[in-house]
Amino acid sequence: MTTHAVVPVAVPAAGPKDILVSEIFSAIQGEAALVGERQVFVRLTGCNIRCTYCDQPEALERRPGPCRVEETAGRRDWSIESSPLAIDRVVEAVGRLWAQVPHHSISLTGGEPLLQGARVVKLAAAFASRGWPVMLETNGTLVPPLRAAANDLAYISMDLKLRSVDGETVAPTTQTTFLRQALSGTATTWVKVVIGPDTDLVEFDAAITMVAEASAPLASNIEIFLQPLTPFGAAASAPTPDQVLVLHERALRIHPRVRVVPQTHKAIGQL
């Protein structure tokens, strides 16, 4: 009788099993294309830039810490857990809120979600496999993790950074590459530009032109949302009404689909 050696079957690595999270809750989206929609927000911890107007300083550092998890959708009845959380636990917490109130989608926000690349890929896949549409809110600087997660994203809300407003130096070439990658996939994509009282007009025009040129070859009807700065932290003042009108006009002369949408959740007292 001939015997055969047993060849062990390679078992794929399970991958990362936990993720740094700041909070999980149900709220009303206050920005850009999905303004007014009910979402479950999963705020991840850690960001690779430091905008002067950032209103989530507690989510900037990629390190363990407390995470608050809402028990009842929209009631702010928090339980406090230790982050990082198991990815399965995040899915469970989102599922509980999702079942309580009809939600439009899940917002993966931060911080910068893609800073936890492999973990975000796994989390987005878990959400998508359950039929929950996923919106990624991103600063548009980390291309490889976007490429890996693209198939499981329904929406991409990309910030276009202006040095004259946020005080950071984000390379326009990086953001161009990111936008083209986003537009090459199936996710509905839009661009958000925070505008402030010191917005540099040359920089602004170049940014709007980049979006128009990057989207043109793909016959994209991509929308640009101008978001007047909400004073916070080191950013002490908003643009004047006249400045907003001027910037809107300049953008419309370059790209036909530009809307002004402030942070409406701030106006109605939402998180």
Structure tokens at 86: 């198991």
Structure tokens at 117: 């690349």
Return the residue matching tokens 């001027």.
246
Q: DSSP for 127-180, please give it.
A: HHHTT--EEEEE-S--HHHHHHHGGG-SEEEEE---HHHH-----HHHHHHHHH
Domain 18-267 is in which class?
alpha beta
Specify the pTM: 0.89
- Give rounded-to-5 percent helix, strand, coil for the chain: 35, 25, 40
Task: Encode the chain (271 residues) as per-residue pLDDT tens digits.
Answer: 443 343 333 333 456 899 999 999 999 999 999 999 999 999 999 888 777 766 666 656 778 999 999 999 999 999 999 999 999 999 999 999 999 999 999 999 988 999 999 999 999 999 999 999 999 999 999 999 999 999 999 999 999 999 988 887 788 899 999 999 999 999 999 999 999 999 999 999 999 999 999 888 776 779 999 999 887 766 678 899 999 999 999 999 999 999 999 988 878 777 7
Q: How many CB atoms lie within 10 A of CB 167?
A: 17
User: For the sheet containing 188-195, what is the strand order?
Assistant: 78-83, 65-70, 21-28, 38-44, 105-109, 134-138, 155-159, 188-195, 223-228, 258-260
Residues 51, 54, 58: CA angle, nearest 5 degrees: 115
Q: In terms of Cα–Cα distance, which of 213, 206, 110 is closest to 163?
A: 206
